[in-house]
Structure formats: structure tokens, C-alpha cells
Amino acid sequence: MTDPGAARILEGGYRRYDGVRSGARGAVESVALHTAQRALGLRRAARFKVLPVLAAVLAYVPAIVYAGLAVLLPGDLTENGVLPTYAQYYFFITAAIVVFTAFVAPEVLCTDRRTGMIGLYLASPLTRTTYLVAKATAVLGVLAVVTLGPPLFLLLAYVLVGSGPDGPVSVAAFVLRIVAAGTLLSAFFGSLSMAVSSITDRKAAASAAVVILLLLSAVVTNSLVEAAGASPTLLLANLFELPFEAVVRVFGEPSDNPELGRLATPVVVGATVAWTLAASALVWLRYRALEVTR
């Protein structure tokens, strides 16, 4: 039995903290992780998990089906066209990418401004720039769930059943291309969605605006080029199809879009990068001018 005389009151009131602090880098990591968790609905009510789960299902189910087919059917099924190539696979998961694009950045940026968290973040070691770096990292990470994960899963499945590239060098080359393509898509759609989200505090309005912007740009540019005979260069403003065309070029595959296919690879990839940079610049300019202390 414990000696009653040895009992002590351990509640010592407010404690000082003399340990090491992680500074701005730790703040960026913490905000990025916290933001990604919230965007994926982790540590939140069930209703916040619906969209992330739906997008993940849309992105991974085709990959699981194709992996199953690869197991069941003999031969190199990508070579003979039975299974889609890595670039073609993105066309099957376009819906998942659009859902995530329309949902993630508004959740990540608009919420902070509406709830006043932005003021608390900027009263920490974060600056506006490092805050945006943290948020962009989270958006890229979450989008990578649908842009990077499924093709990597598909590659792994194909390799395991002998339908994938042969040898470690060839596999590594495909991994690099998948990472490049996934990063390109995540950066493009993430920056675009962040740019729209920097303009309004309303999540629903931002999400709707992202979808409308993507679809409208496709409809308008395709109509002008195909129906009105405008220059294919105009398709560089097709924000819906342009990044997927860039992905096709990253994998060195022939284009499925005859008009976009007439444009040179550096032009397509350059335009995709230029849109990404322009959208990022808009976000930065919007946040530079943001009033945060109220």
C-alpha cells in the first residue's frame, strides 16, 4: 500500500516550456499535415468523409478492375490494347480528379478565411508565403491521392503479373513518368482551384466556380476550334483537357485529341506550367493584400 506520507500534489499550475521549437519549418509541416487531414475528413464527422471516399473510390476502382483483368488474362495486355496505358488511365479517373479539384482547395483556403484561422496562422511563425506553401503542399498531397496513387498501384499490379515494363531500369523510368505526370496534374488543378478559392470566402461558390471554369473553357475552346475553325493554339486555354494532353506527352504516347495533337510537346507542357504559375501568382497576390487582424 502506498505510504500516505509520500503523497504530493503534482498540479504545479502553469508550466514554462524551455525545449526546442521547430520554427517556421515546423509550422509549415504542422499546417500542411493538419490541412491534409481535414481535407480528407480525418478526425472529422462522417459527412466530411463522403467526398474524399467517393473520389478515392472513383480513382482506384478502375485500377483494381484492370489489375484483376491483368491477373486473369494472359499476355501483355497494354501492348495489345486490352488494358489502358498509364496516360489513358487518367481519362477513366477524370471525375475523381475534378471532384477533388473542386472540393479540396475551397476546403483548404476558404475555411481559414471564414473561420478567422488565417489570423491565428499569420500570428504564428508563419508568413503569408510560408502559409501558402503549407496549404499548397497539403493540396498537392491530397490531389496526389487521385493523380499519383492509382497509376502507381496499376504499375505495381502490372509488374507483379508480368504485364508491366521489364527490368528495374524500365520500371524506374515509368515510376519517374508517373510521378512527373501526377505532379503536373496536381500542381495544375491545385493551383487553379486555389486561385478560384482565393477570390471568394464561400466554399460552395468556389467549388462550383472551379467546375464551371473547367467545363466552360473546354466547351468554348473546342467549339471555336472545331466548329469555327479557329487556330488549335486556342486549345491552350482549354483548362480541362490541356493538362491531360501534357500527361500524354510525358508518357510519350500518341494524342487522342487530333486538334491538341497538332501542338508541339514543349508548347503543351509549357502552357500547362504557365497556367500553373499564373494561378499561383494570383493566389499570392490575393493573399499579399489580405487584411487579417480583424
Contacting residues toward another protein, per CB under 8 A: 13-17, 19-24, 26-27, 30-31, 34, 43-45, 48, 111, 114-117, 119-127, 292-294
How near is the Cβ of 108 to another protein at its closest, in Å?
12
- Minimum CB separation of residue 137 from another protein in Å reads 14
Closest to another protein by CB, 23 or 168: 23
Supply the minimum distance, in Å, between the C-beta of residue 178 and another protein. Answer: 32
Output the smallest distance, CB 286 to another protein, in A: 16
Cβ(148)–Cβ(184) below 8 Å: no
Which residue number, 8 or 16, has a Cβ lying nearer to another protein?
Answer: 16
In single-letter form, the type of residue at position 287 comes to: Y
Q: Which is nearer to another protein, 3 or 18 (CB)?
A: 18
Residue 38 vs 262, nearer CB to another protein:
38
Q: Is 276 left (phi over 0), alpha (psi -120 to 50) or beta?
A: alpha
Residue 197 grid cell: 478559392
Please report how close the Cβ of residue 87 comes to another protein at its closest, in angstroms: 39
- Nearer Cβ to another protein (65/290): 290
Closer residue to another protein in complex, CB, 123/281: 123
Shortest CB 27 distance to another protein, Å: 4
CA 135 to chain centre: 11
Q: How far apart are CA 196 and CA 175, in angstroms?
A: 31
